[in-house]
Chain A
Amino acid sequence: MGDLIAKARAQGRALSLSPEAFHKLSALVTLLILIFVFALSSPAFLSINNGLTVLLQTSVIGLLGIGMTMVIITGGIDLSVGSVLALSGTVTGLLVQAGVPVLPAMLAGIAVGALCGLVNGFVITKMRITPFVATLGMMLIARGIALQLTGAAPISRLGEAFGILGNGALFRIVEMRENGFPRVVFPGIPYPAILLLIVAIAAAYLLRRRQIGRHIYATGSNEEAARLSGVVVDRTKMIAYALSGALAGLSGMVLMSRLVTVQPNEGVMYELDAIAAAVIGGASLMGGVGNISGTMIGAFIIGILRNGLNMAGVSSFIQQIVIGVVVILAVYVDQLRSRR
């Protein structure tokens, strides 16, 4: 193993890869190996249907991971995303139940998420509470509000329209057979996957091509230097946390819509998956490092691990162990590359 890594590092140097590219490549190779191994162990793994299932399952981790990546690049962390996801979903569910049309209700849910993020940012920048503690507080607050609003009971019977975002698909082809039963020729690309793609591209654009993105990196890299250079550090952080909150809200919409039920208990521990995705993708909790494409690879590594282990009949307890080991290994490889 050590040999392998040393060899890979030597090759990386020979190809004069930047450390970041090297990390991304190693994550990508890991992803391909996973796909290969699971394909061998279960014939159903490599089917179109399962591929789409993976896309669907990964979209929630991916959306959370994108927001988490921005926050982690600023040198912070957002532990509240799982709870904010639940609160946003709850608000939307209650609004739909009260007769508000689905789209405005969902937008309101996302706005609630963004508001939670803004509060996080405010507590961190103005009250000078560390991100870990501030977002831990928000994690409890948002979850508590969601449970209080619903009495901890799920909200169901939200109507067909509420389920479109999570269950609909683009290019779905269904043909009617002679016996009168429909046959699905191609199940279509699920809307959540399309949404993930759009958000990922937008976030990558924001981080790479816009001033705010540059300021997010600068803030995480050296906060004092950024401040002295005229970067409004507080505003930059607020925006990062608000975006993370809004994306948590959005993933809440996707998740609850998929179940066509609002569960105030949904999304527990999702923040850890999101952090794991970002870290596997090369983001550094010290700040200043990370990118969206890496996080996407990280999210898919987690998604495919879950899916593949499920199909191979591995218990969810073992899955946790495996994912834990992967996270540690990813960070270990990351440290090796920065030492070379």
Chain B
Amino acid sequence: MLFPMTSSILRTAFERVASHISNLDDVKSLVDELENMDSLDTIITELETRMEEAEVTFRTDIRILINECRHIRK
């Protein structure tokens, strides 16, 4: 299997976890916004930063997304 590109890792992760996400629109725009970043590590760091200020359910959404990204990368 080919290794997915950074941007598509984020997108694939999002598609996989979408059914478990509470704030779908917010997460979707976040994905749109971060999709073009250079590396997955940068994306994850950015997601973690956003998590700190986020409302509690949104924070869990981001957490789920980060987890899935890490899972795909592994």
Partners in one complex: no
Q: Interface on B for A, CB 8 Å cutoff?
A: none
Q: Interface on A for B, CB 8 Å cutoff?
A: none
